[in-house]
Amino acid sequence: MGRWAAKFDVDCPGCAGRSLAREPDGPHRAFLPPDLASFAVTVCQLCGQVLFLAPEGPEPDPDVDPDTQPPRRARVLWPVTGRPPAETIPAPLTRELAEAAACLRAGAYTMALVNVRRLLEGVCADHGVAGGPLFHGLRELRKRGVIEGRLADWAEELREVGNEAAHMSGRRVVREDAEDAIALAEALLDHLYVFTGRYEEFRRRRGGTGRPVRSGVVVRETPAMKTLRKSGIRFTPHRYAHDPASVRSRRDIADELGVAPLRVLKAVIVRVDDRAVVAVLPVRHDVDVTALAKAVGGHDARLAALSEVSRLGWATASEVMSPLALPYLPVVVDASIAAPVSVYVSSGRHGLELELASADLILVTGATTAAITAR
Protein backbone atom coordinates (compact mmCIF):
# COMPACT_ATOMS: atom_id res chain seq x y z
CA MET A 1 0.00 0.00 0.00
CA GLY A 2 2.96 2.30 0.51
CA ARG A 3 3.27 2.87 -3.22
CA TRP A 4 0.11 4.98 -3.07
CA ALA A 5 1.59 7.40 -0.51
CA ALA A 6 2.26 9.96 -3.18
CA LYS A 7 3.95 13.28 -2.35
CA PHE A 8 2.71 16.68 -3.54
CA ASP A 9 4.22 20.14 -3.45
CA VAL A 10 1.37 22.52 -2.57
CA ASP A 11 0.50 25.99 -1.30
CA CYS A 12 -1.35 24.86 1.80
CA PRO A 13 -4.10 27.26 2.95
CA GLY A 14 -3.73 25.92 6.48
CA CYS A 15 -0.04 26.78 6.65
CA ALA A 16 -0.37 29.91 4.53
CA GLY A 17 2.69 28.79 2.58
CA ARG A 18 4.48 26.08 0.63
CA SER A 19 4.20 22.62 2.16
CA LEU A 20 4.35 18.89 1.47
CA ALA A 21 1.10 16.91 1.26
CA ARG A 22 0.81 13.12 1.12
CA GLU A 23 -1.88 10.58 0.44
CA PRO A 24 -2.43 8.54 3.61
CA ASP A 25 -1.82 4.80 3.72
CA GLY A 26 -3.90 3.76 0.69
CA PRO A 27 -5.31 4.75 -2.70
CA HIS A 28 -7.25 7.91 -1.78
CA ARG A 29 -7.93 8.98 -5.34
CA ALA A 30 -10.99 9.44 -7.47
CA PHE A 31 -10.33 8.21 -11.00
CA LEU A 32 -13.09 9.82 -13.02
CA PRO A 33 -14.15 9.46 -16.67
CA PRO A 34 -11.66 10.84 -19.23
CA ASP A 35 -13.61 14.08 -19.68
CA LEU A 36 -13.27 14.86 -15.96
CA ALA A 37 -10.08 15.52 -14.02
CA SER A 38 -9.07 13.14 -11.22
CA PHE A 39 -8.22 14.42 -7.75
CA ALA A 40 -6.34 13.20 -4.71
CA VAL A 41 -7.23 13.31 -1.02
CA THR A 42 -4.13 14.25 0.96
CA VAL A 43 -2.95 15.52 4.33
CA CYS A 44 -0.55 18.43 4.83
CA GLN A 45 2.55 17.13 6.60
CA LEU A 46 3.03 20.39 8.53
CA CYS A 47 -0.40 21.36 9.83
CA GLY A 48 -2.54 18.25 9.26
CA GLN A 49 -5.04 20.03 7.01
CA VAL A 50 -6.96 17.67 4.72
CA LEU A 51 -6.55 18.81 1.11
CA PHE A 52 -8.28 17.87 -2.13
CA LEU A 53 -5.67 18.27 -4.86
CA ALA A 54 -5.57 18.35 -8.63
CA PRO A 55 -2.16 16.82 -9.50
CA GLU A 56 -0.20 18.45 -12.30
CA GLY A 57 2.05 16.78 -14.82
CA PRO A 58 2.19 13.12 -15.92
CA GLU A 59 1.26 10.30 -13.59
CA PRO A 60 4.33 8.63 -12.02
CA ASP A 61 5.14 4.97 -12.45
CA PRO A 62 3.00 3.13 -9.85
CA ASP A 63 5.74 0.52 -9.37
CA VAL A 64 8.26 3.12 -8.18
CA ASP A 65 8.43 3.93 -4.46
CA PRO A 66 7.18 7.55 -4.15
CA ASP A 67 9.67 8.21 -1.34
CA THR A 68 12.44 7.98 -3.94
CA GLN A 69 10.74 10.50 -6.24
CA PRO A 70 10.46 14.29 -5.95
CA PRO A 71 7.01 15.62 -4.98
CA ARG A 72 4.64 16.50 -7.79
CA ARG A 73 3.20 19.97 -8.04
CA ALA A 74 -0.56 20.12 -7.33
CA ARG A 75 -3.32 22.70 -7.15
CA VAL A 76 -5.54 22.88 -4.07
CA LEU A 77 -9.21 22.30 -4.92
CA TRP A 78 -10.40 22.38 -1.31
CA PRO A 79 -10.55 24.12 1.09
CA VAL A 80 -11.29 27.23 -0.93
CA THR A 81 -9.66 30.37 0.48
CA GLY A 82 -11.72 33.19 -0.99
CA ARG A 83 -12.85 33.70 -4.54
CA PRO A 84 -10.40 34.33 -7.38
CA PRO A 85 -9.52 38.03 -7.74
CA ALA A 86 -11.23 39.96 -10.51
CA GLU A 87 -9.07 40.79 -13.52
CA THR A 88 -10.06 44.46 -13.21
CA ILE A 89 -8.35 44.78 -9.80
CA PRO A 90 -4.70 45.90 -10.18
CA ALA A 91 -2.29 43.07 -9.46
CA PRO A 92 -0.36 44.89 -6.67
CA LEU A 93 -3.60 45.39 -4.74
CA THR A 94 -4.58 41.76 -5.26
CA ARG A 95 -1.19 40.69 -3.86
CA GLU A 96 -1.59 42.89 -0.77
CA LEU A 97 -5.02 41.40 -0.09
CA ALA A 98 -3.65 37.87 -0.56
CA GLU A 99 -0.77 38.57 1.83
CA ALA A 100 -3.20 39.93 4.41
CA ALA A 101 -5.26 36.74 4.10
CA ALA A 102 -2.10 34.62 4.43
CA CYS A 103 -1.15 36.49 7.60
CA LEU A 104 -4.63 35.88 8.96
CA ARG A 105 -4.36 32.13 8.36
CA ALA A 106 -0.93 32.07 10.00
CA GLY A 107 -2.20 33.89 13.09
CA ALA A 108 -0.20 37.06 12.32
CA TYR A 109 -3.16 39.34 12.89
CA THR A 110 -1.12 42.53 13.36
CA MET A 111 0.66 42.03 10.05
CA ALA A 112 -2.69 41.36 8.35
CA LEU A 113 -3.83 44.85 9.39
CA VAL A 114 -0.55 46.36 8.21
CA ASN A 115 -1.12 44.75 4.79
CA VAL A 116 -4.61 46.21 4.66
CA ARG A 117 -3.18 49.67 5.35
CA ARG A 118 -0.63 49.15 2.57
CA LEU A 119 -3.52 48.20 0.31
CA LEU A 120 -5.19 51.56 1.02
CA GLU A 121 -1.96 53.34 0.12
CA GLY A 122 -1.94 51.37 -3.13
CA VAL A 123 -5.53 52.42 -3.89
CA CYS A 124 -4.57 56.08 -3.42
CA ALA A 125 -1.50 55.69 -5.62
CA ASP A 126 -3.55 53.94 -8.31
CA HIS A 127 -5.79 57.02 -8.42
CA GLY A 128 -2.86 59.41 -8.72
CA VAL A 129 -2.75 60.39 -5.04
CA ALA A 130 0.60 59.50 -3.51
CA GLY A 131 3.48 60.95 -1.57
CA GLY A 132 1.59 62.29 1.44
CA PRO A 133 -0.06 60.94 4.59
CA LEU A 134 -2.72 58.32 3.99
CA PHE A 135 -5.31 60.53 5.72
CA HIS A 136 -4.85 63.23 3.07
CA GLY A 137 -4.96 60.64 0.30
CA LEU A 138 -8.30 59.28 1.46
CA ARG A 139 -9.63 62.79 1.90
CA GLU A 140 -8.69 63.59 -1.69
CA LEU A 141 -10.46 60.45 -2.95
CA ARG A 142 -13.54 61.51 -1.01
CA LYS A 143 -13.30 65.00 -2.46
CA ARG A 144 -13.16 63.60 -5.99
CA GLY A 145 -16.17 61.37 -5.35
CA VAL A 146 -14.13 58.17 -5.82
CA ILE A 147 -15.21 56.96 -2.38
CA GLU A 148 -18.15 58.39 -0.53
CA GLY A 149 -20.68 57.82 2.21
CA ARG A 150 -20.28 54.61 4.18
CA LEU A 151 -17.50 53.41 1.88
CA ALA A 152 -15.41 56.46 2.82
CA ASP A 153 -16.11 55.77 6.49
CA TRP A 154 -14.93 52.18 6.00
CA ALA A 155 -11.70 53.36 4.41
CA GLU A 156 -11.04 55.72 7.31
CA GLU A 157 -11.69 52.92 9.82
CA LEU A 158 -9.24 50.67 7.96
CA ARG A 159 -6.64 53.43 8.04
CA GLU A 160 -7.06 53.76 11.81
CA VAL A 161 -6.77 50.03 12.57
CA GLY A 162 -3.75 49.90 10.26
CA ASN A 163 -2.13 52.74 12.21
CA GLU A 164 -2.80 50.92 15.49
CA ALA A 165 -1.19 47.78 14.11
CA ALA A 166 1.86 49.63 12.76
CA HIS A 167 2.61 51.33 16.08
CA MET A 168 2.89 50.23 19.71
CA SER A 169 -0.59 51.44 20.59
CA GLY A 170 -1.02 49.03 23.48
CA ARG A 171 -4.19 47.61 21.95
CA ARG A 172 -4.17 43.85 21.32
CA VAL A 173 -5.09 42.84 17.78
CA VAL A 174 -7.46 39.87 17.77
CA ARG A 175 -8.47 37.56 14.94
CA GLU A 176 -11.85 39.25 14.51
CA ASP A 177 -10.12 42.60 13.85
CA ALA A 178 -8.08 41.08 11.04
CA GLU A 179 -11.05 39.20 9.57
CA ASP A 180 -13.24 42.31 9.50
CA ALA A 181 -10.46 44.47 8.04
CA ILE A 182 -9.82 42.00 5.22
CA ALA A 183 -13.54 41.66 4.47
CA LEU A 184 -13.94 45.43 4.28
CA ALA A 185 -10.83 45.82 2.15
CA GLU A 186 -12.20 43.23 -0.27
CA ALA A 187 -15.51 45.12 -0.41
CA LEU A 188 -13.63 48.35 -1.10
CA LEU A 189 -11.76 46.79 -4.03
CA ASP A 190 -14.97 45.29 -5.39
CA HIS A 191 -16.69 48.67 -5.31
CA LEU A 192 -13.84 50.59 -6.93
CA TYR A 193 -12.67 48.09 -9.54
CA VAL A 194 -15.51 45.65 -10.18
CA PHE A 195 -18.99 46.97 -9.50
CA THR A 196 -18.38 50.60 -10.50
CA GLY A 197 -17.26 49.55 -13.97
CA ARG A 198 -20.06 47.03 -14.24
CA TYR A 199 -22.62 49.66 -13.25
CA GLU A 200 -21.27 52.11 -15.82
CA GLU A 201 -21.54 49.40 -18.48
CA PHE A 202 -25.11 48.72 -17.34
CA ARG A 203 -25.90 52.43 -17.63
CA ARG A 204 -24.42 52.65 -21.12
CA ARG A 205 -26.37 49.59 -22.21
CA ARG A 206 -29.60 51.20 -21.00
CA GLY A 207 -28.77 54.50 -22.65
CA GLY A 208 -28.04 56.46 -19.46
CA THR A 209 -24.55 57.92 -19.31
CA GLY A 210 -22.89 60.25 -16.86
CA ARG A 211 -23.35 63.95 -17.52
CA PRO A 212 -20.25 66.03 -18.28
CA VAL A 213 -19.53 68.99 -16.03
CA ARG A 214 -17.70 72.03 -17.44
CA SER A 215 -14.33 70.52 -18.41
CA GLY A 216 -15.89 67.26 -19.55
CA VAL A 217 -15.48 65.35 -16.28
CA VAL A 218 -18.14 62.67 -15.88
CA VAL A 219 -20.20 62.94 -12.70
CA ARG A 220 -21.14 59.78 -10.85
CA GLU A 221 -24.90 59.63 -10.43
CA THR A 222 -26.52 60.21 -7.04
CA PRO A 223 -30.04 59.09 -6.01
CA ALA A 224 -31.25 62.66 -6.61
CA MET A 225 -29.81 62.67 -10.13
CA LYS A 226 -31.32 59.27 -10.80
CA THR A 227 -34.75 60.59 -9.78
CA LEU A 228 -34.45 63.46 -12.23
CA ARG A 229 -33.17 61.25 -15.05
CA LYS A 230 -35.96 58.71 -14.65
CA SER A 231 -38.51 61.53 -14.54
CA GLY A 232 -37.16 62.99 -17.78
CA ILE A 233 -36.35 66.33 -16.14
CA ARG A 234 -33.44 68.37 -17.49
CA PHE A 235 -30.82 69.49 -15.00
CA THR A 236 -27.25 70.76 -14.91
CA PRO A 237 -24.66 69.62 -12.34
CA HIS A 238 -22.25 72.23 -10.95
CA ARG A 239 -19.10 71.38 -9.02
CA TYR A 240 -17.71 73.42 -6.14
CA ALA A 241 -14.65 72.92 -3.96
CA HIS A 242 -15.20 70.82 -0.86
CA ASP A 243 -12.82 70.24 2.05
CA PRO A 244 -13.94 67.38 4.35
CA ALA A 245 -12.01 69.00 7.21
CA SER A 246 -14.21 72.13 7.22
CA VAL A 247 -17.95 72.74 7.40
CA ARG A 248 -19.46 75.17 4.90
CA SER A 249 -22.92 76.64 4.85
CA ARG A 250 -25.09 76.67 1.76
CA ARG A 251 -24.70 80.44 1.70
CA ASP A 252 -20.96 79.90 1.21
CA ILE A 253 -21.76 77.53 -1.66
CA ALA A 254 -23.99 80.17 -3.26
CA ASP A 255 -21.13 82.68 -3.06
CA GLU A 256 -18.66 80.26 -4.66
CA LEU A 257 -21.04 79.42 -7.49
CA GLY A 258 -21.78 83.11 -8.02
CA VAL A 259 -25.52 82.53 -7.66
CA ALA A 260 -28.00 84.78 -5.87
CA PRO A 261 -28.85 83.29 -2.43
CA LEU A 262 -32.56 83.34 -3.30
CA ARG A 263 -31.90 80.73 -6.02
CA VAL A 264 -29.90 78.35 -3.81
CA LEU A 265 -32.27 76.24 -1.72
CA LYS A 266 -31.99 74.26 1.47
CA ALA A 267 -34.09 71.39 2.81
CA VAL A 268 -35.15 71.50 6.45
CA ILE A 269 -36.85 68.64 8.31
CA VAL A 270 -39.72 69.77 10.54
CA ARG A 271 -41.75 67.59 12.89
CA VAL A 272 -45.45 68.42 12.44
CA ASP A 273 -47.76 66.55 14.83
CA ASP A 274 -44.91 64.02 15.21
CA ARG A 275 -44.50 63.35 11.47
CA ALA A 276 -41.58 64.49 9.34
CA VAL A 277 -42.16 67.16 6.67
CA VAL A 278 -39.55 68.61 4.28
CA ALA A 279 -39.50 72.39 4.00
CA VAL A 280 -37.65 73.76 0.94
CA LEU A 281 -36.72 77.43 1.01
CA PRO A 282 -33.94 79.86 0.02
CA VAL A 283 -30.76 79.60 2.08
CA ARG A 284 -31.01 83.20 3.29
CA HIS A 285 -34.35 82.59 5.06
CA ASP A 286 -35.45 80.61 8.10
CA VAL A 287 -38.49 78.35 8.13
CA ASP A 288 -41.66 79.52 9.90
CA VAL A 289 -42.72 76.28 11.58
CA THR A 290 -46.18 77.63 12.43
CA ALA A 291 -46.86 78.55 8.80
CA LEU A 292 -45.53 75.17 7.68
CA ALA A 293 -47.83 73.32 10.08
CA LYS A 294 -50.79 75.28 8.73
CA ALA A 295 -49.78 74.46 5.15
CA VAL A 296 -49.97 70.69 5.81
CA GLY A 297 -53.05 70.84 8.04
CA GLY A 298 -51.15 70.27 11.28
CA HIS A 299 -50.96 72.00 14.63
CA ASP A 300 -47.80 71.48 16.66
CA ALA A 301 -44.51 71.94 14.81
CA ARG A 302 -40.83 72.11 15.68
CA LEU A 303 -37.50 71.74 13.95
CA ALA A 304 -36.35 68.11 13.98
CA ALA A 305 -33.36 67.27 16.15
CA LEU A 306 -30.21 66.05 14.41
CA SER A 307 -30.73 62.54 15.78
CA GLU A 308 -34.26 62.49 14.32
CA VAL A 309 -32.97 63.65 10.95
CA SER A 310 -30.26 60.97 10.90
CA ARG A 311 -32.80 58.22 11.53
CA LEU A 312 -34.64 59.12 8.33
CA GLY A 313 -32.00 57.30 6.30
CA TRP A 314 -28.67 57.54 4.48
CA ALA A 315 -29.82 60.53 2.40
CA THR A 316 -29.99 62.65 5.53
CA ALA A 317 -27.23 61.08 7.61
CA SER A 318 -24.66 62.12 5.00
CA GLU A 319 -25.21 65.80 5.97
CA VAL A 320 -25.81 66.76 2.33
CA MET A 321 -29.54 66.30 2.28
CA SER A 322 -31.27 66.68 -1.06
CA PRO A 323 -35.05 67.25 -1.25
CA LEU A 324 -34.97 65.08 -4.38
CA ALA A 325 -33.84 62.02 -2.40
CA LEU A 326 -36.68 61.96 0.13
CA PRO A 327 -39.63 60.67 -1.92
CA TYR A 328 -41.31 59.14 1.10
CA LEU A 329 -41.80 62.48 2.91
CA PRO A 330 -44.30 65.30 2.16
CA VAL A 331 -42.61 68.41 0.76
CA VAL A 332 -43.62 72.06 1.05
CA VAL A 333 -41.81 74.57 -1.17
CA ASP A 334 -41.78 78.24 -0.21
CA ALA A 335 -44.04 80.33 -2.46
CA SER A 336 -41.14 82.61 -3.43
CA ILE A 337 -39.57 79.71 -5.36
CA ALA A 338 -42.50 79.36 -7.75
CA ALA A 339 -41.11 82.11 -10.01
CA PRO A 340 -40.04 80.90 -13.49
CA VAL A 341 -36.29 80.74 -12.73
CA SER A 342 -33.82 77.95 -12.23
CA VAL A 343 -32.86 76.97 -8.70
CA TYR A 344 -30.01 75.06 -7.11
CA VAL A 345 -30.45 72.09 -4.74
CA SER A 346 -28.02 69.65 -3.19
CA SER A 347 -27.19 66.57 -5.23
CA GLY A 348 -26.83 64.51 -2.07
CA ARG A 349 -23.02 64.62 -2.40
CA HIS A 350 -20.52 67.16 -1.15
CA GLY A 351 -19.02 69.26 -3.94
CA LEU A 352 -21.94 68.98 -6.38
CA GLU A 353 -25.09 71.08 -6.86
CA LEU A 354 -27.96 70.46 -9.28
CA GLU A 355 -29.59 73.29 -11.23
CA LEU A 356 -33.14 72.77 -12.51
CA ALA A 357 -36.30 74.74 -13.18
CA SER A 358 -38.27 75.63 -10.06
CA ALA A 359 -41.46 74.24 -11.63
CA ASP A 360 -39.69 70.92 -12.26
CA LEU A 361 -38.54 70.80 -8.63
CA ILE A 362 -42.13 71.20 -7.45
CA LEU A 363 -43.32 68.61 -9.96
CA VAL A 364 -40.79 65.88 -9.20
CA THR A 365 -41.12 66.19 -5.40
CA GLY A 366 -44.93 66.40 -5.53
CA ALA A 367 -44.65 69.50 -3.36
CA THR A 368 -47.25 71.99 -2.31
CA THR A 369 -46.35 75.68 -2.21
CA ALA A 370 -46.99 78.08 0.65
CA ALA A 371 -45.40 81.07 2.35
CA ILE A 372 -43.29 79.25 4.97
CA THR A 373 -40.38 81.62 5.59
CA ALA A 374 -39.85 83.84 8.61
CA ARG A 375 -39.26 87.31 7.24
Using 50, 70 and 90 to split pLDDT, how confident is the model at 356? very high
Does position 370 have pLDDT exceeding 60, yes or no? yes
Beta pairing partners, 355: 236, 344
Which DSSP state fits 273? T
The answer to whether residues 324 and 227 touch, using CB atoms and an 8 Å cutoff, is yes
The answer to whether residues 111 and 103 touch, using CB atoms and an 8 Å cutoff, is yes
pLDDT of residue 33: 65
The answer to whether residues 365 and 334 touch, using CB atoms and an 8 Å cutoff, is no
pLDDT of residue 244: 64
CA nearest neighbour of 278 among 299, 259, 301, 249: 301
Q: Please compute, for residue 42, the number of CA atoms within 13 A of its CA located in the half-sphere on the CB side.
A: 35
CATH 3.20.20.70 given to domain 223-374: no
State how far the Cα of 121 lies from the Cα of 370, in Å rounded to an integer.
Answer: 51
Using 50, 70 and 90 to split pLDDT, how confident is the model at 25? low
State how far the Cα of 171 lies from the Cα of 174, in Å rounded to an integer.
Answer: 9
Using 50, 70 and 90 to split pLDDT, how confident is the model at 317? very low
State how far the Cα of 201 lies from the Cα of 204, in Å rounded to an integer.
Answer: 5
pLDDT digits (tens, 9 = 90+) for 177-193: 888 888 888 888 888 88
Average confidence score pLDDT of the chain: 80
State how far the Cα of 74 lies from the Cα of 374, in Å rounded to an integer.
Answer: 77
pLDDT digits (tens, 9 = 90+) for 204-227: 666 544 444 443 444 567 888 888
Those residues whose C-beta lies under 8 Å from the C-beta of residue 106, and which sit 6 or more positions away, are: 15, 16, 17
Percentage of the chain beyond pLDDT 70 is 83
Classify strands 7-12 and 72-78 as parallel, antiparallel or unpaired.
Answer: parallel
pLDDT digits (tens, 9 = 90+) for 72-110: 888 888 886 655 556 778 888 888 888 888 888 788 889
Q: How many CB atoms lie within 10 A of CB 59?
A: 9
**CATH 3.90.960.10 placement within the chain:** 223-374
DSSP letters along 287-356, please?
E-HHHHHHHTT-S-EEEPPHHHHHTT-HHHHTS---GGG-TTS-EEEEGGGGSSSEEEEE-SSTTEEEEE
Helices (H) and strands (E) in the chain, counts: 12, 18
The answer to whether residues 370 and 270 touch, using CB atoms and an 8 Å cutoff, is no
pLDDT of residue 369: 93
The rounded Cα 368 to chain-centroid distance in angstroms is: 36
**CATH 1.20.120 placement within the chain:** 91-201
Query: What fold is seen in the domain 91-201?
Result: Four Helix Bundle (Hemerythrin (Met), subunit A) (1.20.120)
Strands (E), the chain: 7-12, 17-22, 29-30, 39-44, 50-55, 72-78, 211-213, 217-219, 236-239, 265-272, 275-282, 286-287, 301-303, 331-334, 342-346, 352-357, 368-370, 373-374
pLDDT of residue 333: 94
